[in-house]
Amino acid sequence: MSWNLWGTPNSLYTGKVRSYLIKQGIPFANRAAAEGHFHEAIIPKVGRWIVPVLEGADGTIVQDGADIIRHFEAGGATRHPAFPATPRHAVISQIFELFGGEGLLRPAMHYRWNFDATNRAFIEADFIRSLAPIDADDNVKAGIFGMASNRMREAMAGFGVTAETIPTVEASYAEFLALFDAHLAGSPYLLGSAPTIGDYGLIAPLYAHLARDPEPARLMQTTAHRVWRWTERMNRADADAGEYGAPDAVLFADDDVPDTLKALLRFIAEDYLPEVRAYVGFINDWLAARPDLAAGSSGLDRPSERRMGEVSFGWRGHEITAMVMPYRLYLLQMIHDLFDRADADGQAAITALLEETGLADLLTLRTARRIERRDHLEVWGPPRASSAI
């Protein structure tokens, strides 16, 4: 079956799905969210303006990058299975899906919206051509970009990017690029010679924002060339790994975790784990204050709202206040599910790795209720049998 991928070239989460479809050889057409069909047929089905949305020729609608990938993986006929079969690789890949799509939002937003002298002309043209109707006049186009720009700049602050934190955001991102670049010296993808869900998580910010927008693209090209090549590789149907000797599409043998990958995991422990702790604490307090919250509800006045509130936490010497959105804990929950399904030996291997890299708390940071997705929205499941987690 053929598919329409509704989104924009500059969309972080559309980029994740596009890369997956390309790598799996799934036939699809890129469709612009500005098209009339998106507004007339897709938005009413999904219930809000959001991308990406995948529309099948038979009318099937799947919204959300993680859910789209799992839709195809459930069919079992993908070219490169996104989910590793071995315990450590499976959990590592899931950690990078979470960190890529959610933990790299500060540099992604900073390098897009705080370099107007370099970026603005490109971003404005890109947004207008993606979001404005083809026949829109200049005033309409300017209004669309102005609205999108203002909204995204507000979101940037909501992720903790401020005048005070910008130097640290830049230093943190430079450290990440150096670590990922060093890791890619030994393999074309995160876990070997084939892409996994961790690669698709990372490509979301590292392509749409950080490899397309002029300022961060220049930075990546000049300071982390292997990462730049990886962003190209992730958007090509073939392996595009000639510089590695065109290896077979396999993961590291025996569930191996190279030291360069452990270094990246330690980076996540320092850079992102404090935010996860704060999120889980906020949400468990929020749930405790609503003991009668009905299962299947978001608990918010507007069901389509994604923001539950704000939480403050320490990050690299700063006190950051950031928006709380349950979606990222939906991804965190997938790490828990992998661990819970593993056998005793697998759980021991996962625990030892996460203790070694400072990420052991990821296994115990759990919300008092499961987060589910129904009708393209995040909602709360019933209370867990025990809150002693």
Sign for the CA dihedral angle at 381, 386, 388, 389 comes to negative
CA 114 to each of CA 70, 184, 200, 208, 238: distance values in angstroms, whole numbers, following the listed order: 34, 29, 26, 16, 35
Least trusted range by pLDDT, from 100-104, 122-126, 132-136 = 132-136
Lowest mean pLDDT among 15-19, 346-350, 371-375: 371-375
Tokens of 275: 């935010």
DSSP string of 168-219, one letter each residue: HHHHHHHHHHHHHHHHTTT-SBTTBSS--HHHHHHHHHHHHTTTTSHHHHHH
Mean pLDDT across the stretch 182-194?
98
| DSSP labels, 113-150 | HS-HHHHHHHHHHHHHHHHS-TT--HHHHHHHHHHHHH
pLDDT, residue 384, reads: 83
CA–CA separation, 314 vs 321, rounded Å? Answer: 9
pLDDT over threshold 80, residue 385? no
Position 77 pLDDT exceeds 80: no
Q: What predicted TM-score, i.e. pTM, was given to this entire model?
A: 0.96
> What's residue 304's pLDDT?
79
Q: How far is CA 272 from CA 91, 346, 380, in A?
A: 16, 24, 24
pLDDT greater than 60 at residue 182: yes
Over residues 262-279, the mean pLDDT reads 98
How does residue 134 score in pLDDT terms, banded at 50, 70 and 90?
confident
- Give me the percent of the chain exceeding a pLDDT of 90: 92
The yes-or-no verdict on residue 54 having pLDDT over 70 is yes
Instruction: Check residue 303 and give its pLDDT.
Output: 79
pLDDT category at 386 given cuts 50, 70, 90 is: low
Q: What is the pLDDT of residues 279-335, one digit of tens each?
A: 999 999 999 999 999 999 999 988 778 889 999 999 999 999 999 999 999 999 999
Question: pLDDT-derived band of residue 387, with 50, 70 and 90 as boundaries?
Answer: very low
Region of 219 (left: φ > 0; alpha: ψ -120 to 50; beta: rest) is alpha
Peptide bond into 81 cis (omega under 30): no
**pLDDT of 160 above 80:** yes
Q: What is the pLDDT of residue 24?
A: 96
Exposure of 374 in the CB half-sphere (CA atoms within 13 A) = 11
Using the predicted structure, report yes or no on whether residue 29 has a pLDDT greater than 90: yes
Q: Name the token pair of 276.
A: 């996860």
Mean pLDDT of the chain: 95
Residue percentage of the chain with pLDDT more than 70: 99
What would the mean pLDDT of 207-213 be, rounded to a whole number?
98
Closest alpha carbon to 187 in 196, 173, 23, 356 = 196
